């Protein structure tokens, strides 16, 4: 069985505001097996991990009270950049179809037509006799 390839991955982290947050995220990431933390700063972390490790790192950071997700830009462990889709473990596909194959809503209109045989002639105003 082939081992999963470890790559450099960037996590975007919402809710961090200072050094105490950086320490808390560092501590959370240290407990994740098969993940090496390269750098943590307010708003982000750089790790080296395979996809399973990256997912576990996101879960660990979220468990520490922050909102983490893998950013779009990552690189291989040897420094070669590549792009992967951003994801969070709780992401699910949208239930609403989108794109060119999505069906457009059908407009509903109601047109009222009058039957000339049933319409009454306009009333003639009464003229008072003088």
> Are 83 and 72 spatial neighbours (Cβ–Cβ below 8 Å)?
yes
Give the CA radius of gyration of the chain: 31
* Count of positions (residues) in the chain: 130
pTM over 0.75: no
Instruction: Tell me the CATH architecture of domain 7-79.
Output: 2-Layer Sandwich (3.30)
Contact 62, 69 (CB under 8 A): no
Nearest-angstrom CA–CA distance, 74 and 45 = 12
Element (H, E) at 51: helix 51-63
Computed over every residue of the chain, the mean pLDDT equals: 74
User: What confidence score (pLDDT) does residue 71 get?
Assistant: 87
- For residue range 28-85, list pLDDT tens digits in order: 999 999 999 999 999 999 999 999 999 999 999 999 999 999 986 555 554 544 444 4
> How many CB atoms sit inside 10 A of residue 38's CB?
11
pLDDT in tens, 3-31: 678 999 999 999 999 999 999 999 999 99
Question: What is residue 5's predicted lDDT score, i.e. its pLDDT?
Answer: 87
Tell me the helix, strand and coil percentages in the chain, rounded to 5: 20, 25, 55
């Amino acid at each position: 069985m082939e081992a999963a390839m470890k790559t450099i991955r960037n996590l975007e982290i919402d809710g961090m505001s200072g050094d105490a947050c950086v320490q808390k995220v560092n501590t959370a990431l240290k407990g994740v097996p098969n993940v090496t933390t390269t750098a943590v700063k307010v708003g982000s972390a750089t790790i080296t991990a395979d996809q399973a490790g990256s997912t576990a790192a996101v879960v660990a950071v979220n468990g520490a009270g922050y909102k983490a997700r893998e950013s779009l830009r990552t690189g291989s462990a040897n420094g070669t950049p590549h792009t992967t889709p951003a994801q969070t473990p709780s992401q699910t596909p949208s239930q609403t179809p989108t794109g060119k194959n999505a069906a457009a809503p059908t407009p509903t209109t109601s047109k009222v037509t009058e039957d000339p045989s049933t319409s009454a002639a306009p009333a003639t105003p009464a003229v008072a006799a003088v």
